Chain A
Amino acid sequence: MAYMYLGWGISLAVLALYALSLVARGRRLTKSVPPERRRWTS
């Protein structure tokens, strides 16, 4: 059981941390980019 929880735990934690780091990087970078250059089409 411990191995199974370890595998799932590491995977979900890494994916969540990576996703959060991308969102944080995006928010930080938008402050340095003029608005007309950060309008996403959809």
Chain B
Amino acid sequence: MTTPQVPTAPDGTGSPATRVLGIVALAAMALLVYLAFVATPRDATQGDLVRLLYLHPGLAWTAYLACGIATAASIQHLRKRTIGSDLLAHSSVEIGAVMTALTLVTGSVWGRPTWGVWWVWDARLTSTAVLLLLLLGYLALHRIDAPPEVRSRRSAVVGLLLVPNVILVHQSVQWWRTLHQEPTLARRDFDFGASDLMMFTMIYGFVALSLVFSWLLVQRFRVGWLEHQVEEAWLDEAITERRAEALGAEVER
């Protein structure tokens, strides 16, 4: 007689589904690198610098996506106070901060040879910097020394501000005169001109980075879940110890 196999608990945050997603995301990024560096030609005006534009808008898109998820999860948390919504918002904000920082870095690296400066207090750049500060503020608030439900609630209030800030970032190039160009892909008359492959690569960058974002989000959520379990176990242990102490004091009396 064979005994039924008990599934063993994973020794990390991976699972069969996330392994597949991870491999797909890695392959998608490898293809993006190939398209950006090998398959696409140099741009007539920008030269090789155009290759940065296959990465920069995709990073900005994932930052927007992260903020959208964080705000939706924050609303859910303020309504229902569930641990899942707090973990989702927190995970999304952390990844959003990484993506926003990389958006600023790649934009700055592109701007130095194009505009002649690393940084300018332009409406798009400034509003993106404010978005990064807001994301860092959320993360800082989530680490304050307060009961978990209090810090989660306070962070969720900051989470509500993320989508309005994303709208501000996105619209800044239309509401104010900026050095940063207007949205190109959204324009109906937009024509990349030189090559359809360049256009495809730029749009494909959004897909590849969205896959990376999805994998990171699942992993970060599971790390958050494990951290929550550790915190719960520590609290349970502390309560049990206090009860035992109280019981011991009662017996002595």
Contacts and interface: CB of A to CB of B under 8 A. Distances in A.
Given A3-B110, A11-B106, A14-B102, A42 B15 contact: yes
A13 to B, nearest CB: 10
SS of A interface (majority)? helix
The bracket for how many chain B residues form the interface is 35 or more
A19 B14 CA distance: 12
Contacts of A27: 11-13
Interface stretch (B69-77, B151-159, B193-201, B218-226): B218-226
B55 A7 contact: yes
B88 to A, nearest CB: 15
A33 B11 CA distance: 10
Contacts of A26: 12-14, 219, 222-223, 226
A30 B12 contact: yes
Contact of B106 (A7, A19, A35): A7
Contacts of A12: 29, 33
A35 B9 contact: yes
B212 interface: yes
Interface in A8-33: 8, 10-12, 14-15, 18-19, 22-23, 25-27, 29-30, 32-33
A41 to B, nearest CB: 8
B233 interface: yes
Nearest to B222: A26
A7 B52 contact: yes
A11 B12 contact: no
Interface of A: 1, 3-4, 6-8, 10-12, 14-15, 18-19, 22-23, 25-27, 29-30, 32-42
11 contacts: A1-B48, A3-B113, A6-B109, A23-B14, A26-B13, A26-B223, A26-B226, A27-B13, A29-B223, A30-B11, A32-B233
